[in-house]
Amino acid sequence: MKRILAQCIKELAQFRRDRLTVALAILLPLATLFIFGFAIRLEATNIPIVIQDLNNSPLSRSYIEQLMATNQFQPTRWENNIVEALERGIANAGAIIPPDFDAQINSNQPTTIQVLIDGTDANNARIIQNSFRATTNAFLQTSGIQQEQPNIVARIRIWFNPGRRESLYIVPGVYGVILWIYPSLLAAIAMVREKERGTILQVYASSLTAAELLLGKGLAYFLIGIAQAIVIISLGSLLFQLSFAVEPTAFILGTSLYLWTSVLFGLLIGVRASNQNAAVQGVATIGFLSSLLLSGFIYPLSNIPFPLSLISSILPARYYIELSRDAFVRGTGWIGVWFIPLVLIVIGLLLFNTARKALSRMQLPY
Partner 1 sequence: MKFLIHLLESRFWALCIKEINQIIRNKQLLFLLLFPPTVQLLIFGFALNADVQNLKLGIVDYANTYESRELVAALTENQIFIPQNYSLSQEEIAQQVRLGQITAGLVIPPEFNRDLAQNRTAEVQVIIDGVDANTAGIASGYATQIVNQYSRSLDENLTPPLVQAQSVFFYNPGLLSSWFLVPGVLGTVITLTSTLVSSTTLVREKDSGTLEQLLMTPADAWEILLAKIAPLFVLLMGDILLALSVARIVFRVPLQGSLLLFLTLGGLYLFVGIGFGLMLATLAKNQQQVVLTSFFINLPLIQLSGAIAPIESMPVFFQYLSLLNPLRHFVAISRGILLKGVGIDILFPHVLALFTFVVVLLTVSVNRFRSQLS
Q: Which of residues 312-351 bind partner 1 (CB under 8 A)?
A: 322, 325-326, 329-330, 332, 335-336
CB of 259 to partner 1, least distance (A): 20
Read off the amino acid at residue 328: F
Residue 43: which residues within 8 A CB-CB, separation 6 or more? 164, 166
Phi-psi map region of 144: left, alpha, beta (phi>0 left; psi -120 to 50 alpha) = left
* Number of neighbouring beta carbons within 10 Å of residue 84: 13
Distance of CA 269 to the CA centre of its chain: 24
- From candidates 17, 71, 79, 150, binder to partner 1 by CB under 8 A: 150
92 with 86: CB under 8 angstroms?
Answer: yes
Looking at residues 60 to 79 of the shown chain, list those that interact with partner 1 (rule: CB under 8 A).
63
CB of 265 to partner 1, least distance (A): 17
CA nearest 119: which of 92, 156, 158, 146? 92
Q: Given the complex with partner 1, which of 139 and 258 has the nearer CB atom?
A: 139
* Pattern 18-37, partner 1, x by CB under 8 A: --xx--x--xx--xx--xx-
Looking at residues 78 to 107 of the shown chain, list those that interact with partner 1 (rule: CB under 8 A).
83, 86-89, 92, 95, 104-105
- From candidates 133, 197, 199, 241, binder to partner 1 by CB under 8 A: 133
Looking at residues 221 to 240 of the shown chain, list those that interact with partner 1 (rule: CB under 8 A).
none
1 with 210: CB under 8 angstroms?
Answer: no
Read off the amino acid at residue 106: N
Looking at residues 289 to 308 of the shown chain, list those that interact with partner 1 (rule: CB under 8 A).
289, 293-294, 298-300, 302-305, 308
Q: Is 138 in the site for partner 1 (CB under 8 A)?
A: no
81 with 52: CB under 8 angstroms?
Answer: no
Looking at residues 236 to 265 of the shown chain, list those that interact with partner 1 (rule: CB under 8 A).
none
Q: Given the complex with partner 1, which of 63 and 352 has the nearer CB atom?
A: 63
Residue 65 sits at φ, ψ, to 5 deg, of: -60, -45
Q: Is 191 in the site for partner 1 (CB under 8 A)?
A: no
For residue 94, the cross-strand partners are 50, 116
Q: Given the complex with partner 1, which of 293 and 358 has the nearer CB atom?
A: 293
CB of 11 to partner 1, least distance (A): 16
Distance of CA 44 to the CA centre of its chain: 17
Say which DSSP state 109 is in. -
Size of the site for partner 1 (CB under 8 A): 113
Distances (CA, A) of 256 to 13, 79, 138, 348: 22, 59, 51, 11
CB of 334 to partner 1, least distance (A): 11
Q: Given the complex with partner 1, which of 182 and 352 has the nearer CB atom?
A: 182
Residue 68: which residues within 8 A CB-CB, separation 6 or more? 75
CB of 205 to partner 1, least distance (A): 25
In whole angstroms, give the CA distance from residue 333 to residue 230.
Answer: 20
204 with 363: CB under 8 angstroms?
Answer: yes
Q: Given the complex with partner 1, which of 22 and 211 has the nearer CB atom?
A: 22
Q: Given the complex with partner 1, which of 4 and 315 has the nearer CB atom?
A: 315
365 with 205: CB under 8 angstroms?
Answer: no
In whole angstroms, give the CA distance from residue 267 to residue 220.
Answer: 12
CB of 299 to partner 1, least distance (A): 6
For residue 75, the cross-strand partners are 49
Q: Is 135 in the site for partner 1 (CB under 8 A)?
A: yes
- From candidates 193, 239, 334, 353, binder to partner 1 by CB under 8 A: 193
Binding segment (CB under 8 A) for partner 1, from list 50-58, 118-126, 212-220, 357-365: 118-126
* Pattern 43-62, partner 1, x by CB under 8 A: xxxxxx--------------
CB of 195 to partner 1, least distance (A): 13
